[in-house]
Amino acid sequence: MCLKGVEILDHTIVVVGTQWGDEGKGKITDYLALKADMVVRSQGGNNAGHTIRFNQQKFALHLIPSGIFNSGTKNVMANGMVINPRALMEEFEMLRSKGITSFQLYISDRAQVIMPYHLEMDELLESLKGEESIGTTKKGIGPAYSDKTNRIGIRIGDLLKPDRLKIALDNALAFVNPVMKTFGRTEIDSTEVFNEYIEYGKKLKPYITDTSLLIQDALDYHQKILFEGAQGTMLCIEHGTYPYVTSSSPTAASVPLSCGISPQSINEVVGVTKAYTTRVGEGAFPTEFENEISKKIREVGHEYGTTTQRPRRIGWLDTVILRHARRINGVTGLSIMLLDVLSGLEEIKICTSYELEGKIIHHVPGHYEDFLKCKPIYITYPGWKEDISNVHSFDELPKNCQNYLYAIEEFTGIKVTIISVGPDRDQTVTLKKYFE
């Protein structure tokens, strides 16, 4: 019997978006990645966009994990991802042009490949839906995931096996081409696509491996592993605002499945939230508002999509969805982003619950029609005038700003562990030390 000491390990951290994506996960991931031995991207594809700034340079990553800038860090693109090799080649080129040539990258042989027809299908489906369209990124994400579950998807490993690739491609096109024909689109030429993709296989071969084994090795050696989130909980195919969601689950719960490791492997879940809320694409958004204040937030916060450049919709912070995210993900600490953007506002609102058909509710309703009807119930807090972008500790923050953060903790039940007051790495206040 040994009760001498229970080792509390902080070796694995999941960074998860608690809103509709674009919470600023890229900055926090980059920040934590500095200390990580391995950074893993588990799901999604180049619908994501992570902006990272350091040394006066700005990098936009869509597929490659954020640890790519540290040559000592292993970067993994795991089995749950959908990977567009054309987009990956562009990202390699971007890194090369910025002088990033020494890096460690591993790509799962089980990850799905986004094929050219997935982009066409995405666009076609969106146009057929008309006013009901989702506002996807048109990167082929949904069709790639549906081919996966229809078992006509092409895996990264298939790119290394010409005979298999031919069969898999013909299987997929037997379904895809009649659809193309029906809707007056050009049918996909199997040989052309084969020739292009077999070349990608050759280029990607040095990176392709069984990443589940690789991550397990890192776990066995107690290495520090960062699971980098993409999108956000409200875009989850299971627990988001369905059908206005992405086609995968960007939650902490999906990480073990999407990486091929055990659920017990996760120690910490950092939930990332903006100090307000944004959304791109269509779908319900209870705290959304459009006036001079939202315009100011959009301009000061540069609220335009990294992937599609669309102006983001703006709303007040919604703690109902943050509690939803806490429950779904088991969030252990909250990282508040873009707090500096709220400086100078007279008043700031926090949504604490909704009114739905005359009743007060404290949760996100399951049916989208009900969510659309939810009216936010707010508590209003006085704002602060001071510029906080050079603050390095909680104590230096203006009193009203501190009170705003205390209110967030109170209504979410989650400790604030990181505060971001600007885009640069050193504009970060940490209240808990991670990976130490």
Residues taking part in catalysis? 22, 50
284 binds ligand IMP (CB under 6 A): no
Kindly tell me which of 27 and 139 has the beta carbon lying closer to ligand IMP.
Answer: 139
22 binds ligand IMP (CB under 6 A): yes
Kindly tell me which of 135 and 365 has the beta carbon lying closer to ligand IMP.
Answer: 135
Q: Are 119 and 186 in contact (CB under 8 A)?
A: no
- Nearest-angstrom CA–CA distance, 163 and 394: 60
- DSSP-assigned letter for residue 44: B
Q: Are 223 and 38 in contact (CB under 8 A)?
A: yes
280 binds ligand IMP (CB under 6 A): yes
- Nearest-angstrom CA–CA distance, 36 and 226: 6
Kindly tell me which of 79 and 136 has the beta carbon lying closer to ligand IMP.
Answer: 136
339 binds ligand IMP (CB under 6 A): no
Residues binding ligand IMP: what is the number (CB under 6 A)?
A: 20
Q: Is the dihedral of CA 331, 334, 336, 337 positive or negative?
A: negative
Q: State both tokens at 414.
A: 């989650």
Q: State both tokens at 128.
A: 């057929």
Residue whose C-alpha is closest to residue 123's, from 142, 108, 109: 142
287 binds ligand IMP (CB under 6 A): no
Kindly tell me which of 113 and 230 has the beta carbon lying closer to ligand IMP.
Answer: 230
Q: State both tokens at 27.
A: 């900055």
Q: Which stretch binds ligand IMP (CB under 6 A): 68-76, 139-147, 322-330, 406-414?
A: 139-147
134 binds ligand IMP (CB under 6 A): yes
- According to DSSP, the residues that pair with 17 across neighbouring strands are 272
Amino acid at 145: Y
Kindly tell me which of 23 and 340 has the beta carbon lying closer to ligand IMP.
Answer: 23
126 binds ligand IMP (CB under 6 A): no
Angle of helix 190-204 versus helix 85-97 axis, rounded to 10: 40
Among residues 142, 153, 157, 260, which is the contact residue for ligand IMP, using CB under 6 A?
A: 142
247 binds ligand IMP (CB under 6 A): yes
Interacting residues toward ligand IMP by CB under 6 A: 20-22, 47-49, 134-137, 139, 141-142, 230-231, 235, 246-247, 280-281
